A and B are shown apart, each in its own frame.
Chain A
Amino acid sequence: MRVKAGVRKEKRVQVRLIIDGGRMLGIGRKKELAEYNPQLTREELIKRCRILVIDDEKPSLIDDLSRDGFAVDYDNKGDDVSKIEKNIYDLVLLDFGGVGMAYGRDQGLSLLKHIKRVNPATFVLAYTSKSLPPEQSAFYRLTDGTLYKDAGIQESFERIEQSLRQALNVERIWDGIVQLALKNPEDRGELEKTLMRCLKKKKFDNLYDRLAHEVGQSVKDGLVGGLVAKLIDLAMKGAVGG
């Protein structure tokens, strides 16, 4: 009996070693969402992305960006952010003064709060040269980063490209979907399992059904649907090593 038990233990150890060895080689290991991030070239990034500049005075940086092939829209007031709500833009450069008056007294900060409430996945860079008092420092806290308004051209390009790559990060987009769709944050784990299964099978009906159940209606045409489509597009590119 003792001999048999010893053999069984040895076999268990061998099996464990094979499993661990396989995992080290990437065999049988579950793929993480981050591994679906595509490696976009600069050209692909420029082609995919759309930028919105909200500033009461049109900055010359817009012409520089347009000349380089970036799709840039300009809004001098920021009173109508319906396109942000529809997830048209990957990046918003947001000034503080003289914009967003329709959303509250705190100008750019009020607009920023609105944007983050309706579409938390929007990547927003604080784009102001105003010295803000402590009570308005939330403007920097709520944005995803800062681009000095008096930054150089090359520096501005680098910061914008870096931000666009962050904006197209599948984990970040997934965070936005979860924030918008889930009533109970504790269900995130289950929803993520559904997403990973769908990504593996490359079939997404289950994910749409699950999200529709959460939201209470079809999500394909709404903001959540738009974000899911974006995530799938990027993840499928990432899955084939793009």
Chain B
Amino acid sequence: MGGEVERKRAKEYRSSTISAEVVANYAKQMDLAEKERIAAVANELKKYPPALHEIRKYNRTIKQEAERLCRAASPSDADNADPSLVRIWKSSELMTYQFEILELIANETLVDLPRKTESEVYKIFHKCVRIYELEAEKRNISVSIRGSSPRAIVCDKTFPIIPTVLLENAIRHGLSDTEVRVRVEDVGVKRCRISVSNIGPRVETLPDIFEKGVSVDKNAGGQGVGLYLAQLVARQHGTLITLDQAKYSERGDVYTFALGLETL
């Protein structure tokens, strides 16, 4: 208030009965209200981590009890226990992955953590496939995984976010009666290539789907955050996720997300 623009406006609208003082007071009140709103949101956000913490505790109880029951019922292969029990167990496994994504949304600096843990890449993806098979079944999609079992040094806190996001994405956007294929292959010396492909509806011009907030199909349920986070995690591991689109049939295209990874 009180600037050049205000003076011009005052000359332009001489008959206006609203005084500059009233407008200034109103603007000041609006500023205060905005500050209070921001403070209230910040305050609410502080409640979010403890709430998440409590939910994770309940999830742990459900998961571990379900796993104990499955192992007691089928000691040689717990995955073959009563399907309804296995469903509870795997659903809580899925929740754990989702919590990790939420944690990364709340604290993106986690992708600055060092890579310290020697892990079997295939095993991480295989576990994720077993969990997401149930989700895929609901959409009449099958999931297969094949390949070698290279070992790599990963950040155990963040790396599982990559298979979680890629599989979830492939199933969410996949057409029914199709297959999601996960492949882990050795390529060259001390390097592997991981790919997740699905068949989805054709999109003529794909946006930059690794950008925050970009979603190809809002109706499919994505928030446009998953691939952005997965790419951050890929960068943390010295690589990048790429997307390749190829024509499949009249029904749709084959979409292949792939990343290379240094192995031991």
Q: Do A and B come from one complex?
A: yes
Q: Which residues of B contact A148 (CB under 8 A)?
A: 96, 100
Q: In the bound complex, do residue A146 and residue B156 qualify as a contact, i.e. CB atoms below 8 Å apart?
A: yes
Say whether A131 faces chain B, with CB atoms less than 8 Å apart. Answer: yes
B235 within 8 A of A: no
Q: Establish whether residues A137 and B63, one from each chain, have CB atoms under 8 Å apart when the complex forms.
A: no
Across the interface, do B57 and A140 meet the contact criterion of CB distance under 8 Å?
A: no
A131-B96 in contact (CB<8A): no
B114 close to A (CB within 8 Å): yes
**Does chain A have a CB within 8 A of B247?**
no
Report whether B56 and A150 are in contact in the complex, using a CB–CB cutoff of 8 Å.
yes
Indicate if A184 sits at the interface (CB-CB under 8 A): no
In contact, A129 and B53 (Cβ under 8 angstroms): yes
A217 within 8 A of B: no
Chain A's nearest CB lies how many Å from the CB of B125? 15
Q: How many of B's residues come within 8 Å of A, CB to CB?
A: 36
One of B105-113, B132-140, B173-181 at the interface: B105-113
Chain A positions 127-158 with a Cβ under 8 Å from a chain B Cβ = 129-134, 137, 140-141, 144-146, 148-155
Give the size category of A's interface with B. 20 to 34
- A131 B103 Cβ-Cβ under 8 A: yes
B63–A131 CB distance below 8 A: no
Contact B116 A144 (CB under 8 A): yes
Chain B residue at minimal CB-CB distance from A135: B109
Residue of A126, A140, A146, A153 touching B68 (CB-CB under 8 A): A153
| Inter-chain contacts of A153 with B (CB < 8 A) | 64, 67-68, 71
Contact with A along B113-136 (1 / 0, CB 8 A): 110111000000001000000000
Residues of B within 8 A of A (CB): 48-49, 52-53, 56-57, 59-60, 63-64, 67-68, 71, 78, 89, 92-93, 95-96, 99-100, 102-103, 106-107, 109-110, 112-114, 116-118, 127, 156-157
8 contacts between A and B (CB under 8 A): A131-B48, A132-B49, A137-B112, A146-B156, A149-B56, A149-B57, A152-B89, A153-B71
